[in-house]
Structures are given as C-alpha cells and as structure tokens.
C-alpha cells in the first residue's frame, strides 16, 4: 500500500517540478536555518563534564553592602568569592573535595631562542582541582595540599603549551619560566579543554582553548601574578586582592549524595550568620548552592545574540511552514478530479488522507536532506565567524537525526490540513462538473 | 472598484485566504524585528569616536619590567619620534575599543557611593597624549607639563592627581544643563577637577548608551602605560606602525610587542556585529522571497480554479484591466489584513525581546515600513498570476469545462 502511495507521490511531484522544487526549497531553508541555530545552542549548552556534573556544586555568597546595586550590563560581583571567604571555605573542608581558583595570564619565556616570549592564559588553582574534576593526565600528576601551603613553584601544562615548548619530548620534570620565575613542570594534561570552561569566570571567554597551564593559587598570590576575569571591589582598602571586599575567585565543591548537599547548604547558611556576627555580610542570609548545570544556566553562557538568532530562525521556519501549507493545499485541491475518481471507485477517505500524507512526507524527506546541507553550510559560516564559540559549531549524530525528524514532522504537519480538505471533497459534485 | 464581490469570493475560499494573511502577518512581524536589529547593529558599528582613527597606529608592549618604566618609556617615545612621518607619540594605559577596560565609578558629590555613582572608563595619558590621539577640545584646556610630571600612580588603581578631562556625553550625564568646567568628580577619598571637555571618545568596551563615558588623566611614566600611540598621515600609517613595532621590539627584547593600525582595532571589535548583521540581511531576503513565492503559488491556483468565472466576466464586458485589477485588489485586501495583524505581532515580539534580551523599543516607523514592504511584495507576486488571469479568453465561458 505504502509502495503504491509512494509511487503516486513520486509521479505527482514530478508532474509539477517547479512547485515541488519550491516546496522542498522552502522547507529546506527553514529547517536549515533553524537547525544551524539549534545546533549552536545545543553545543553551547552541553554538559562539559558529564560523568561528574552531578556531584559538583558552586556555593554562592554575597558579601556586598546593602547599598551596592545590581547593574544589568556589568558582570554580577556576587558570582565570585573574596579571598577571605574562599580561604575560609577551603579551610572548613566541609565537602568531599573543594578548590578555589582564578584565571590569569602570564608571560611565558621559552628557553629556546627561536621562540619569542608570549602571553598564555591559564588558571591559578588549589590542589583538589585535579582529582575533583577528574582531569586526565598524560604524564605526571597534580600537587598536594602541603605543596599548596608551601607555595611551591610547580606547574601543570596543558597539551598545546607542552608541545609548543618541548615538542614531542616529555615535559615533565623540565623547567619553564613564567614572568620572572622558574617553575618545575610536574604534569602534562591530555589536551583537557572542557567546553565551556565551566570552572572559571565564565563572564569572559568560556569557549575555546582557554587554559594552557595550571599553577598553585598561593604561588600566584606570592608572585603577584595578574589575574584575569572580573574583579569587583566595594571597599577603599590598599592591596585589594587579599581583602574581604573584592570578589574575584571561583570556588567549587564536590558533594556525593543529597544528604551531603543538604549539610553543605546548612553549613553555608551558618557561615553567613557567623560572618554577620563579625560585622561582615550586611545582607540577609541567602546562601545558595548551585549544581554545575544550574550554575552555567545562572551565568547565562549562551550569548543573547545566539538566542535572538534562534528566535529569528524559528520565525523564518514558521513563515516557510505556512507557505508550504498553502502550496500543498493548492496542489492537493487541484487534483480534486483525480480524488473524486478514486473515491468513486471505492477508496475511503482514510486512503485519500494517507495518500496525501505520504506525499507530504516525501517532500519532508527531500526538504530535510536539503535542510541538512543548508545547515552544514550555515554551521560552516558560523565556524568562520570571530566569536569564541565558533569552532564548536559541529553537528553530532543526534542533531543530524533531529534535523531529518524535524523536517518530516514539519512537512507532515503542514500536509495535515490540505490532506484533510482533499479527503472531504464531494466526489459526485466534482465528477458532474468535470 | 467594487470590493463586495471580492469579499464574497474570499468568504468561499476561507482557508487559502487565511493562509495568505497568516503568511504575510508572520513575515511582517519577523521582518520588522529583524530590520530593527540590523539597524541597531549598524548604529553600533558606526558609533562616533573623536580621535584621529585613520592616522593612529597602536603598538602594545607587554611584559616589560614595570620598575624600569620611568627610564624605558621616555627612551621608547624618543626613538618612536625619530621615525620618518611620525607627527605625535604618546603612551596610554588602553585605547578605545581595545576590550581592555579600566573602569571606575564617580559621583557628583563627595558622598556619592554606589547609588548615584556613574561607571566610567579611565584613560591615562603620557605627556602629548591629546595630540597623539587627536582629541578634540570643546571647552577648557589640556593638561600642563607640570600636571603630567606630578601625576603618579604607585600601587593605586587610579592616579594621584587632581585634574581630569571628560567627554561631552559624560559632562551632560553628570551635570545636565550646567557647564562642567571647574566641577569635581568624586570617589572617596579621591577627587578630580574637570579642566577640559572633549568631543565624545568611545570606551574600551562599549555597551548601550553609556558608550562615551570616558575620562582622561595625566600620568608620568608608569608600568600601567603599555599602549604606544603613534600618529601620522593616513598614507604613512601602515609603514609607521611596522617600523614602530620593530623599533619597540628591538628596544624591549623580553616583552611581547604587537602593532596594529587603529582602523584594524575598530574593525576587529565590531567583526561579530557585522557578521551578525549580514546574517540577518540574508535571512530577511530569503524570507521575503519565500513569502512572495507562496503568494504566487496560491494565487495561481486560484486563477486556475476560476477560469470559467473569469471567462464569463470577460464575456459580459469586463476588460483585461478589470480582471487584473480584481486580483490586485484582492491581494491588497489580504495584504492589508496581514500587515495589520503583523504589525501587532511585531510590536508584541519587540516587547517580549525587550523583556528578555538587551533590546530597545522599536521606533514606530518600523511598523508602517514593514507594512509597505509587504504590500509591495504582495503586488509584485500577484502580478504574474493576475496577468495570466487577464489572458483568459471570453470564449472559455461558452465551453463546458
């Protein structure tokens, strides 16, 4: 039966090639534009660390005075912690693992004279960072809390920087000069570039190869290395970084199971009250504990532009769909005579409906294939854009299948009304006027 | 032109009529908002910036020893002045649209904190910075040599001086309707007297209407100054930038030295926006084409369905013009219904976007603009089918199907 309907659809579509081409083109363009933007949104809002995201939490405290107002255009100062609060949370050791961190860029001075000095971005972190995020090492490993406390000059390099500095030879144990200080390389990562770089200050660059080195936060403080990312202050103190009135550090804690999460939440609230007793934290207690994905959502990693483009693409798809409904209606009703003959020969309404449904689906498949091509073209153009998320714009299998399904669903939906109208044709009237 | 017969016939073909109206309404709503977004981006990209954009080159020197700044900077500037074609040289902490923002908040009263303070960007200039950037003085004066020499920074985020030059926009924001000269910008415990007002210079990082809230401070050689600004005639600029970059990297072997013309810096800053604007243009064009084709398709179907009626009308005396007009008028009615709904929809979408994204209110003239565009497209699309309808010979009426 389907084979027969399929054959009928093929004949009918070939009979009016221009109309068919236009319908396929319309659905292809609509699907292509929508899928391009959906893919970009999909890759940008993906889970950067699927095995562990369920156990990772970001504590949210707000040490600002009451008078500080929120500025919609500026990064949220309470998204980060001050040095004092981060140190307190680290020392309290209430989670399974916890680490404080800040992004930074340092001048790398290669030993070989062929390379000029260059700036590289990385993170200043505490010891638990590596085991907590299950960071994959190619060689060597991280450092211990004792090394943190001793402000040791050790560094872990990411894949790209290690290759750039030491080629194919093992970097572990080598010395690398950062700013004006020698650091011993104790580990090399296996090209670890989670997308987005969820752990850092995501109000800046969160996509792309953001971090090429990791070194102890205490050491970076010691050497007064510059930090990147947003630093917000409200005091008028001297050295700002160690004060409790400047927020610039990110803090992550891993908690296994809901009881521990609940306990940590309780601990944060107690901490807030305790700080109030010391004359800090003027605001009413409002400690939050975000899960990793909730935190990324809170930080709104997907730029407004991308969402706007998605809306635009969906609006465009809607225009295309209405267009196809109209064209299918015209096409099906034009064949009233044919329908009437079939009805007169015994075909039921259901059969007519099915026949036109199959025809819509055939258009959908063709449109979907075209849409797939257009989406690939769209993604290719996104990849050539200057945004930092550009290189991510690749389709995975699920989006590939999604495109086809969306195209078929869209075209069958578009075919519903015309097919229904066509099967309501009164055969007698049509046959008489013929 | 009688409208009633057209309405009567549309009532018989309700679904195709509704589809055309719906399509035009959707297209109108999307078009208005997309064109508005394009317009906003074009405005952003063309924001004025009162420095000599075409004559300036910027060379950044990062990683030199800040302790040596007081001797390095005069030496560097001296060597740059020696390059043929250089008209003025200075060093600053950042330049407009560099993305490297030195932000601070100032109020108009000594007690201003948080609530009424205004976020600004600070530019620190070495002596001659006004000439090197090509600032345009509107009121007051530029800094004196003493003010440059006396201004130090040390470990402070701002400079230790008491004078500031601000842009016109900032002057109007801080003291609306009053002369800004002699007024004081406060940020406890700091206070700076306005000695000059310059034409609007963009901030290093631009958002919304606050794009021009820039301030300028004098500063003696200091580690914070790392953007060497070299000004020359536009035709010499690229050569001067190359030579300046080479000179500075020879003088500062341990530092990272990079040179760009200012036009490159501006272009790079707005690259995202212009690629987005082009994408929007493309979507609009394709969407209008799809809409036009939909109208062609449905009207052709209609014409074919009514061949007999057309023949009868022709037979009883209607001219070809009458038939053309009939279809054109019909399309005009449908388009009108479409754009009325579309304008309402466009307005609603704009309100939604304003709530959820950084979007401004769409000026009213975008709505009739979009309406006219769709009217024209409708008439354009209906022209072909209408002509075919007019070509139906009267003799059709006498044939039985």
Query: Which three-class secondary structure string do you get for chain A?
Result: CHHHHHHHHHHHHHHCHHHHHHHHHHHHHHHHHHHHHHHHHHHHCCCCCCCCHHHEEEEECCCCCCCCCCCCCCCCHHHCEEHHHHHHHHHHCCCCEEEEEEEEEEEEECCCCCCCCEEEEEEEECCCHHHHHCCCEEEECCCCHHHHHCCCCEEEECHHHHHHHHCCCCCCCCEEEECCEEEEEEEEECCCCCCCCCCCCCCCCCCCCCCCEEEEHHHHHHCCCCECCCCEECCCCCCCCCCCCEEEEEEEEECCCHHHHHHHHHHHHHHHHHHHHCCCCCCCCCCEEEEHHHHHHHCCCCCHHHHHHHHHHHHHHHHHHHHHHHHHHHHHHHCHHHHHHHHHCCCCHHHHHHHHHHHHHHHHHHHHHHHHHHHHHHHHHHHCCCCCCHHHCCCCHHHHHHHHHHHHHHHHHHHHHHHHHHHCCCHHHHHHHC
Per CB-CB distance under 8 Å, the chain A contacts of B357 are 304, 307-308
Is the predicted pLDDT of residue B118 greater than 80, yes or no?
Answer: yes
Do residue A117 and residue B115 have CB atoms under 8 angstroms apart? no
* Banded pLDDT at B155 (limits 50, 70, 90): low
Say whether residue A434 is in contact with chain B using an 8 A CB cutoff.
Answer: yes
CA-nearest residue of chain B to A300? B357
* Banded pLDDT at B1 (limits 50, 70, 90): low
Say whether residue A33 is in contact with chain B using an 8 A CB cutoff.
Answer: yes
Mutation target for B interface from A326, A371, A414: give the one with most B CBs within 10 A.
A326
Do residue A385 and residue B291 have CB atoms under 8 angstroms apart? no
Report the pLDDT value the prediction gives residue B142, as an integer from 0 to 100. Answer: 94
In total, the C-beta contacts within 8 angstroms joining chain A to chain B are 131
Per CB-CB distance under 8 Å, the chain B contacts of A223 are none
Say whether residue B155 is in contact with chain A using an 8 A CB cutoff.
Answer: yes
Do residue B301 and residue A316 have CB atoms under 8 angstroms apart? no
Nearest to B26 among A72, A179, A322 (CB): A322
Say whether residue A326 is in contact with chain B using an 8 A CB cutoff.
Answer: yes
Segment A11-40 shows an average pLDDT of 87
- Dihedral sign, CA of A7, A12, A18, A21? negative
Least confident span in A388-397, A409-418, B23-32: A388-397
Distance from CA of A79 to the nearest CA of B (A): 18
CA distances from A323 to A144, A415, B125, B288 (A): 64, 11, 60, 11
Is the predicted pLDDT of residue A205 greater than 80, yes or no?
Answer: no
* Banded pLDDT at B132 (limits 50, 70, 90): very high
Say whether residue A420 is in contact with chain B using an 8 A CB cutoff.
Answer: no
Q: Average pLDDT over chain B, rounded to whole?
A: 88
Nearest to A326 among B294, B305, B359 (CB): B294
Do residue B300 and residue A330 have CB atoms under 8 angstroms apart? yes
Segment B121-130 shows an average pLDDT of 92
In the three-class reduction of DSSP (H, G, I as helix; E, B as strand; rest coil), residue B375 is classed as helix
Least confident span in A10-24, A123-137, B104-118, B196-210: B104-118
Is the predicted pLDDT of residue A43 greater than 90, yes or no?
Answer: no
* B:324-383 residues touching chain A, CB 8 A cutoff: 349, 353, 357-359
Is the predicted pLDDT of residue A238 greater than 60, yes or no?
Answer: no
B377 φ/ψ angles, rounded to the nearest 5 degrees: -65, -40
* B:230-269 residues touching chain A, CB 8 A cutoff: 254-256, 268
Say whether residue A107 is in contact with chain B using an 8 A CB cutoff.
Answer: yes
* Banded pLDDT at A433 (limits 50, 70, 90): low
pLDDT above 70 as % of chain B: 97
Mutation target for A interface from B300, B301, B331, B353: give the one with most A CBs within 10 A.
B301
Is the predicted pLDDT of residue A371 greater than 80, yes or no?
Answer: yes
Q: Average pLDDT over chain A, rounded to whole?
A: 86
Do residue B30 and residue A312 have CB atoms under 8 angstroms apart? yes
Segment B307-319 shows an average pLDDT of 89
Do residue A319 and residue B114 have CB atoms under 8 angstroms apart? no
Least confident span in A85-99, A137-151, A200-214, A318-332: A200-214
Distance from CA of A120 to the nearest CA of B (A): 11
pLDDT above 90 as % of chain B: 49
Q: Which helix (H) or strand (E) holds B214?
A: strand B214-218
Report the pLDDT value the prediction gives residue A71, as an integer from 0 to 100. Answer: 63
Give tens-digit pLDDT for B290-303: 899 888 888 888 88
Q: Are B201 and B94 in contact (CB under 8 A)?
A: no
Nearest to A385 among B208, B275, B297 (CB): B275
Report the pLDDT value the prediction gives residue B209, as an integer from 0 to 100. Answer: 62
Do residue B272 and residue A73 have CB atoms under 8 angstroms apart? no
* Banded pLDDT at A434 (limits 50, 70, 90): low
Is the predicted pLDDT of residue A97 greater than 80, yes or no?
Answer: yes
Cis? peptide before A196, omega within 30° of 0 = yes
A427-433, long-range: CB within 8 Å, 24+ apart, which pairs? A427/A339, A427/A340, A427/A341, A427/A343, A427/A344, A428/A340, A430/A336, A430/A337, A430/A339, A430/A340, A431/A337, A431/A340, A431/A341, A431/A344, A433/B401
Answer with the residue of higher pLDDT: A257 or A113: A257
Say whether residue A238 is in contact with chain B using an 8 A CB cutoff.
Answer: yes
Segment B135-154 shows an average pLDDT of 90
Report the pLDDT value the prediction gives residue A56, as an integer from 0 to 100. Answer: 93
Is the predicted pLDDT of residue B395 greater than 60, yes or no?
Answer: yes
Is the predicted pLDDT of residue B271 greater than 80, yes or no?
Answer: yes
Give tens-digit pLDDT for B330-344: 999 999 999 999 999
Give tens-digit pLDDT for A217-230: 999 998 888 888 77
Per CB-CB distance under 8 Å, the chain B contacts of A238 are 155
Segment B37-56 shows an average pLDDT of 90
Give tens-digit pLDDT for A44-84: 888 888 888 889 999 999 888 876 666 666 677 788 999 99
Segment B397-401 shows an average pLDDT of 67
Is the predicted pLDDT of residue B113 greater than 60, yes or no?
Answer: no
How far apart CA A387 and CA A376 sit, in angstroms, is 18
ipTM of the complex: 0.79
């Amino acid at each position: 039966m389907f084979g027969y309907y399929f054959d009928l659809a093929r004949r009918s579509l070939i009979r009016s090639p221009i109309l068919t081409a236009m319908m396929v083109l319309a659905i292809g363009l609509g699907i292509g534009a929508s899928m391009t933007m959906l893919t970009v949104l999909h890759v940008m809002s993906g889970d950067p660390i699927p095995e562990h995201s369920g156990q990772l939490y970001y504590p949210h405290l707000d040490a600002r005075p009451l008078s500080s107002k929120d500025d919609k255009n500026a990064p949220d100062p309470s998204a980060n912690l001050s040095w004092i609060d981060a140190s307190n949370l680290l020392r309290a050791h209430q989670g399974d693992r916890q680490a404080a961190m800040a992004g930074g860029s340092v001048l790398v001075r290669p030993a070989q004279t062929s390379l000029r000095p260059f700036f590289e971005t990385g993170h200043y972190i505490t010891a638990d960072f590596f085991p907590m995020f299950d960071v994959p090492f190619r060689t060597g490993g991280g450092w211990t809390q004792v090394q943190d406390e001793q402000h040791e000059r050790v560094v872990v390099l990411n894949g790209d920087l290690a290759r750039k500095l030491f080629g194919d030879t093992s970097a572990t144990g080598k010395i690398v000069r950062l700013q004006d200080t020698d650091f011993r390389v104790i580990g090399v990562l296996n090209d670890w570039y989670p997308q987005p770089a969820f752990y850092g200050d995501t109000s800046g660059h969160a996509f792309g190869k953001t971090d090429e080195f990791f070194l102890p936060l205490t050491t970076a403080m010691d050497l007064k290395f510059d930090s990147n990312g947003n630093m917000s202050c409200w005091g008028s103190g001297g050295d700002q970084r160690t004060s409790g009135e400047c927020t610039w550090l990110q803090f992550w804690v891993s908690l296994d199971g809901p009881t521990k999460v609940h306990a940590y939440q309780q601990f944060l609230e107690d901490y807030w009250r305790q700080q109030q007793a010391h004359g800090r934290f003027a605001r009413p207690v409002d400690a939050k504990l975000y899960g990793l994905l909730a935190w990324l959502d809170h930080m709104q990693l997907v730029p407004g532009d991308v969402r706007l483009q998605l809306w635009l693409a969906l609006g465009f798809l809607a225009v295309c769909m209405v267009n196809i409904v109209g064209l299918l209606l015209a096409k099906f009703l034009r064949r009233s005579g044919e329908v009437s003959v079939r009805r007169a020969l015994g075909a039921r309404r259901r059969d007519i409906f099915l026949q036109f449904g199959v025809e819509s689906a055939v258009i959908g498949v063709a449109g979907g294939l075209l849409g797939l091509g257009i989406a690939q073209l769209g993604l290719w153009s996104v990849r050539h854009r200057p945004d930092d998320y550009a290189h991510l714009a690749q389709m995975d299998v699920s989006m590939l299948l999604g495109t086809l399904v969306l195209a078929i669903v869209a075209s069958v939906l578009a075919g519903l009304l015309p097919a229904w109208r066509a099967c309501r044709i009164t055969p007698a009237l049509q046959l008489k006027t013929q | 032109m009688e409208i009633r017969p057209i309405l009567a016939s549309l009532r018989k073909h309700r679904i195709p009529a509704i589809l055309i109206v719906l399509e035009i309404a959707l297209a109108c709503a999307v078009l208005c908002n997309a064109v508005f977004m394009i317009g906003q981006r074009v405005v952003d990209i063309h924001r004025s910036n009162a420095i000599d954009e075409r004559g300036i080159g910027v060379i950044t020197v990062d990683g030199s020893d800040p302790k040596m700044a007081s001797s390095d900077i005069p030496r560097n500037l001296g060597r740059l002045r020696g390059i043929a074609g250089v008209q003025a040289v200075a060093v600053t902490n950042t330049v407009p649209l560099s993305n490297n923002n030195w932000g601070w908040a100032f109020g108009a009263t000594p007690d201003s904190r948080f609530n009424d303070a205004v976020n600004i960007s600070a530019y620190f200039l070495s002596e001659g910075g006004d000439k090197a950037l090509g600032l345009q003085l509107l009121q007051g004066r530029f800094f004196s040599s003493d003010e440059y020499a006396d201004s130090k920074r040390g470990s402070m985020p701002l400079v230790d001086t008491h004078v500031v030059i601000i842009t016109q926009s900032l002057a109007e924001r801080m003291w609306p309707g009053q002369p800004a000269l002699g007024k004081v910008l406060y940020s406890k415990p700091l206070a700076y007297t306005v000695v000059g007002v310059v034409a609007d210079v963009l901030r290093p990082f631009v958002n919304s209407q606050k794009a021009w809230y820039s301030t300028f401070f004098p500063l003696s050689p200091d580690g914070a100054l790392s953007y060497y600004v070299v000004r020359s005639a536009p035709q010499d600029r690229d050569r001067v930038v190359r030579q300046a970059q080479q000179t500075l990297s020879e003088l500062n072997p341990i530092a990272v030295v990079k040179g760009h013309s200012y036009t490159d810096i501006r272009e790079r800053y707005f690259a995202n926006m212009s690629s987005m604007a082009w994408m929007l243009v493309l979507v609009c064009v394709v969407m209008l084409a799809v809409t036009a084709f939909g109208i062609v398709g449905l009207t052709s179907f209609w014409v074919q369905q009514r061949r007999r009626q057309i023949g009868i009308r022709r037979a009883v005396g209607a001219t070809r013009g009458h038939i053309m007009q009939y279809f054109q008028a019909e399309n005009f009615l449908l388009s009108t219904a479409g754009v009325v709904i579309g304008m309402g929809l466009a307005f609603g979408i704009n309100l939604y976007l304003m709530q959820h994204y950084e979007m401004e209110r769409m000026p009213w003239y975008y709505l009739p603009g979009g309406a006219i565009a769709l009217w024209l497209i409708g008439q354009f699309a209906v022209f072909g089918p209408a002509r075919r309808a007019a070509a139906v010979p009267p003799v059709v009426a006498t044939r039985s199907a």
